[in-house]
Structure 1
Amino acid sequence: MRGIQDVYSATKKVVDLWSYDSKTVLYSSSIGALVFPVSLGLIQHFVFRTISIANGHLLAPVLGLAAVGLSGCASAIAVTEASYRLRVKQNYYYWRDEPAIFKLPKPYSLDDKDLKLLAAYFMGTVIVFKVFRGRFASVLPSTVKSPGAFANEGIIGSHRYAHKSQRQKIVQIGQKFGCHTCGRKWFIKSFIADHQPPLSLSRNNKTKKYLLGLLQYPKVQQKLYPQCVRCSLKQQKHLQSPGNYSEVVSHASSLRIYHLFLPLPYIWAFLQDVLNHL
């Protein structure tokens, strides 16, 4: 019981100290929250899309994890830099009981200590991403030839076009999760039941034979996912003319809860202050 009281007392002292600089915390945390999804979007568009690696790639989870961690490091650096610049602008005068909020470490020199700090931010961001139920492969762009980055739920289909009840179910799934390719769900009036793999590819596979026609390739299991009209047109163009239209679709502007970045530098500083006051 004594230990709980000590932690409560130390936490209260730290909260009182931090209240002097709440505007700085809010401002710099907002900067970090903005930098995280922007960094992920830039990596997705200018790296993965450029080299045509999508969410269905074998290495997508590993590459997505690296992108999340690196974006977290960039956001953490943005938090510390924004905090420093605002405090300099406001000409803060420090007192004897200076909280860790006023001396956030800035990992710029990349010595052993800074690398450990960046590694902590990297792992912290990855853990938060998973706590918010993010999938590492989902930060990569989608491909129109397989379930997209937002393919959370689908229904069993066939090699025929979807019937009325299936289309109604697809609309419900789309309103909940959005287009499975680009993630958009707001202001979308309806969703198309998209076959995965696409019917044209599946039909071609179904008619192929080998060993003089004695054996056939096994039928591919079809699933239906909600897809917006824009992504459906991109899919049609690529399937009709693969050489002229890319199969990769980026979705950097489609945000989810796992794109939220917690201000890890402040969390680390807060814990340091609590421990120092015990």
Structure 2
Amino acid sequence: MNSDTDRLWSWEEARDSCLQRLQEAWGYGSRVAKPGIPYVIQGAAAGITFVGGLAGIQGVAYACRISCASPHIGPLFGMVGVGLASAAGGQVSKAVGRWQAGLEPWPREGLAAIRGEEVLLDAALGILAYKALGGMFKNVNPSDLRYPGSFARSSIAANGAQYSTVKQRKDIVSLFRRYGCHHCGRRTGECIGDHMPPNKFVWPEGTRSKVVTASQNVFVKALRQVTRRKGPARTNSGTLKAAERVAQRLFPQCTKCSEKQSVAVKLGRQVLVVHKRLGLPESCYYAGVFAGLRHYVDPTIERRRAHKTDGPTRHH
């Protein structure tokens, strides 16, 4: 009887000791993490605003028919979009900082209180951070199904116009799970190996000579940017003498984009796809956090500063 009682007490003591240690660890962790919470909140607010801003810029590019394959205007439009999204993230972070200090998020002057040099600095910081983290400005825009998409990160060599082999299909599935569809970014569902350039562009039908059109030249330039490989597009002179061709690549593609692509290539028409991806974003999408953290100010200092400029107004 005594042994059972002693065993019960030993279990209760161990339980109480464990709970006490957990409470002490929780208290210590809270004390250590508490000073960093304002940083996290402001950085998160700026990051979410940045990603939302890029989504809006992509919508504008879609309406203007600008894609990641558009020469010159594509990268320029993307860079401007990154700058605008960064500037917006910086202003939201600043407002959140005022809110954490117990002040009105926006000053009484409204938009008039925003300083131009501050906005330009946030935009420049976001652009530099986006590029430093491996981002490409053209990939902010939607994908054109006739060309390599915004997520064309990696590919494998194709066997001419032939369909992929068993080994190639395994490699394509692996790339699909890692990078997603090179047009829309989808990582779930079935996938195929997408010939880039499409077979219709590289292997023209008929025996008459077919000169590569200007639009296909644009494609070749876009493909070379991805593969870093040189080579002219193939021409078919009937006898196939002096015929040269681009080294085709296989990119992972979801079945939905494949169905839309077949129509786009057949009609030679621009069909844009808005890219979206669930899960953690790529590293370049954290660029907006840097502009947000630049605006962090200790709440006490923020209140003193606001008292001098705005007066003692506070939010409730």
Q: After the TM superposition, which residues 78-117 of structure 1 pair with which residues of structure 2 at under 5 Å, given as runs? A: 78-88=92-102, 108-109=111-112, 114-117=115-118
Q: After the TM superposition, which residues 33-182 of structure 1 pair with which residues of structure 2 at under 5 Å, given as runs? A: 33-45=47-59, 47-59=60-72, 60-88=74-102, 108-109=111-112, 114-157=115-158, 158-182=160-184
- 1:233 partnered with 2:232: no
Q: After the TM superposition, which residues 235-254 of structure 1 pair with which residues of structure 2 at under 5 Å, given as runs? A: 235-241=261-267, 247-253=271-277
Higher radius of gyration, 1 or 2: 2
Question: Separation in 2 of the partners of 1:139 and 1:248?
Answer: 13
TM-aligned CA deviation for residue 110 of structure 1: 7.4
CA 1:38–1:206 in structure 2 vs 1: closer, same or farther (change >3 Å)?
farther
Contact 2:67 2:141 in 1 (8 A): yes
TM-aligned CA deviation for residue 159 of structure 1: 1.7
Question: Separation in 1 of the partners of 2:246 and 2:205?
Answer: 8
- 1:267 partnered with 2:268: no
Question: Separation in 1 of the partners of 2:110 and 2:87?
Answer: 9
Question: Separation in 2 of the partners of 1:76 and 1:207?
Answer: 59
Question: Separation in 1 of the partners of 2:106 and 2:145?
Answer: 48
Residue type of the alignment partner of 1:267:
R
Contact 1:206 1:218 in 2 (8 A): no
TM-score of the two chains, using structure 2 as the length reference = 0.64
- 1:220 partnered with 2:233: no
Q: Secondary structure at the match of 1:225?
A: strand
TM-aligned CA deviation for residue 257 of structure 1: 2.1
CA 1:173–1:253 in structure 2 vs 1: closer, same or farther (change >3 Å)?
closer
TM-aligned CA deviation for residue 252 of structure 1: 3.9
Deviations 1:27-75 (A, max 9, x none): 3332222111111011102x11111111111122222111111100011
TM-aligned CA deviation for residue 225 of structure 1: 0.3
Contact 1:195 1:225 in 2 (8 A): yes
Q: Root-mean-square deviation (CA), in Å?
A: 3.5
Q: Which runs of 5+ in 1 are unaligned?
A: 1-15, 92-101, 274-278
CA 1:265–1:181 in structure 2 vs 1: closer, same or farther (change >3 Å)?
closer
Deviations 1:230-271 (A, max 9, x none): 11122123234566xx51111144532211121425335569
Question: Separation in 1 of the partners of 2:244 and 2:207?
Answer: 10
Q: Which runs of 5+ in 2 are unaligned?
A: 1-30, 212-236, 302-316
Residue type of the alignment partner of 2:197:
P
Q: Secondary structure at the match of 1:49?
A: helix
Residue type of the alignment partner of 1:75:
G
TM-aligned CA deviation for residue 201 of structure 1: 3.0
CA 1:263–1:199 in structure 2 vs 1: closer, same or farther (change >3 Å)?
same
Contact 1:151 1:180 in 2 (8 A): yes
Question: Separation in 2 of the partners of 1:256 and 1:140?
Answer: 15
Contact 1:41 1:253 in 2 (8 A): no
The residue aligned with 1:256 is: 282
Question: Separation in 1 of the partners of 2:275 and 2:157?
Answer: 25
Residue type of the alignment partner of 2:70:
H
Q: Secondary structure at the match of 2:70?
A: coil
Residue type of the alignment partner of 1:56:
A
Spell out structure 1 runs of 4+ moving beyond 6 A: 210-217
Q: How many residues align?
A: 236
TM-aligned CA deviation for residue 86 of structure 1: 4.2
The residue aligned with 1:11 is: none
Contact 1:190 1:228 in 2 (8 A): yes
Question: Separation in 1 of the partners of 2:282 and 2:123?
Answer: 20
CA 1:263–1:35 in structure 2 vs 1: closer, same or farther (change >3 Å)?
same
Q: Percent identity?
A: 23
